[in-house]
Chains A and B, each alone.
Chain A
Amino acid sequence: METSAAAERKVYSVAEFNRRLATYVGRVRDVWVEGEISELRRSPAWGTVFLTLKDTRTGACLSLTMPRRRFDSIEPALTEGERVQANGSLSLYEARGEVSLRAGTLERVGAGDHAAALALLRRTLAAEGLFAPERKRRLPRFPRGVGLLTGVDAAARGDVVAAIATRYPAVRLVIAETRVQGPWAPGAIVTALGRLSACDGVDVVILARGGGSFEDLLPFSDERVVRAIAGCAVPVVSAVGHEQDEPLCDLAADMRAPTPTAAARLVVPDLDELRAGLGRSRQRLGAGTGRALERDRARVERSRERLAVAPRLLLERRRSALDRSAARLQALSPRATLARGYAIVRAGDAVVRDAGTVSAGGLVEIELEQGGLGARVEEVRP
């Protein structure tokens, strides 16, 4: 069975198969295919531009090629994420057996609708959380260096330099001038942003671009640029176009400023305010020290007062002790007894306690509380 089947087989080499296949594939001419540009590879060194058309719903892909000159003549330039209708014929790249649509025409779907493409990209990136407020980083209060990404000879550059020079010149300003318009702008911006943020000491980057037409500002809504901003190593302040333009870079940036000058004000502190703040700090320093001194002086004062009253207290304590002793002494003194109406009778030096020790007609001294009496004994009653 197998041998006979093998004998009947027509077996092609891959090259021959592909060659034959190419003739079939080549018969598919003048077809229209619609899809979204998902991969765009273009190099000035290549005569052909390579893209992938993608069906956004199913994810199905088709390779597409177009002569570079033809592709470059499309205005405004096509970018990834845009929906297009391609017209051309199929061809097989025989070396790889890959089919691609060789397009002669590429048309934007929806009347060349950049705005729709932008809205779609905006929704996609927003859904990814790229614009989420919690992603926003705080700007450094005192950047050592500021990176400025701007177009060549842009007025924006002068504005930023002037604002920083007057407000807070204590920084290094690293300026990258780059293309900000045309199909090369997104790549150039991404490169410049990477280089700037990698500069030693650059703590924040300003993206500045004056106003322009909707198309002029498109590079700042390019997906690569928006992602590069969101993923930038340092915070990014966006000052691109006018307020109403709202390019996507504004949404991805950590902060947006209405003008380049305003962006400069955001990234550096104000020298005058700093000086005033330092002055206040110094005042508080003096006041704080003064209070510490005052507090200790008061403490010393209190100690001195207590020291001063200490001896008097001691004296008073002694005095009152003395007074108590005196009172007790007093209580024991015969004077107190005399005060109560008693009298002391003496005969000569001796106190008379017994009537029998004196005789009638003898002399006695009677001591009273006040004064005394010299008396003669009239009668003795033992």
Chain B
Amino acid sequence: MSEPSFEELQRELDEVVARLERGDVPLDEALALWRRGEELHRACVERLDRAELEIEELRLGDGSGRDSEPPGG
């Protein structure tokens, strides 16, 4: 399916942290959660690092006959 959004990744990270902090998870699970959390953290940071503003002009039907076209095209 499609890539999870940053928001989804961050929410899962928050959940992982919250579960770990409740402190009632068995050690094996805690380690698994930690690994998952690290993975999510890395994914989030990567998302932010590679973020680049994408600008698109919307051409409105103003009689010029043009419609939506990508920038710099």
Contacts and interface: CB of A to CB of B under 8 A. Distances in A.
Interface of A: 141-142, 144, 147, 161, 164-165, 168-178, 188, 191-192, 195-196, 199, 271, 274-275, 277-278, 281-282, 284-289, 291-293, 295-296
B53 A293 contact: no
Contacts of A282: 37-38, 41
Contacts of A161: 53, 55
Given A278-B44, A282-B37, A291 B58 contact: no
Secondary structure type dominating chain B contacts: helix
A195 to B, nearest CB: 6
Interface of B: 5-7, 10, 13-14, 16-17, 20-21, 23, 25, 27, 30-31, 33-34, 37-38, 41, 44-45, 47-48, 51-58, 60-62
B48 A286 contact: no
Contacts of A281: 13-14, 17, 37, 41
| 6 residue pairs, one from A and one from B, having the closest CB atoms | A288-B20, A170-B51, A292-B30, A289-B34, A169-B53, A142-B7
Contacts of B48: 170, 271, 274-275, 278
Contacts of B21: 284, 287-288, 291
A138 to B, nearest CB: 13
Contacts of B62: 188
A188 B60 contact: yes
A174 B69 CA distance: 11
A278 to B, nearest CB: 5
A176 to B, nearest CB: 4
Contacts of A171: 53-54
B6 A170 contact: yes
B60 A292 contact: no
Contacts of A176: 57-58, 60
B57 A285 contact: no
Given A169-B53, A281-B14, A289 B31 contact: yes
Nearest to B53: A169
A333 to B, nearest CB: 59
Contact of A285 (B10, B20, B25, B61): B20
A278 B30 CA distance: 19
B60 A195 contact: yes
A170 B56 CA distance: 14
A284 B23 contact: no
B50 to A, nearest CB: 8
A172 B6 CA distance: 14
B55 A175 contact: yes
A183 to B, nearest CB: 15
B51 A168 contact: yes
Nearest to B17: A284
Given A285-B37, A286-B34, A288-B30, A170 B58 contact: no
Contact of A292 (B6, B25, B45, B47): B25
A228 to B, nearest CB: 14
Q: Which of A176, A282, A293 counts the most chain B CB atoms within 10 A?
A: A282
A142 B4 CA distance: 12
Nearest to B30: A292
Given A169-B53, A285-B17, 8 more contacts: A173-B55, A175-B56, A177-B60, A195-B60, A281-B41, A285-B34, A288-B17, A293-B30
A199 B20 CA distance: 40
Contacts of A144: 5
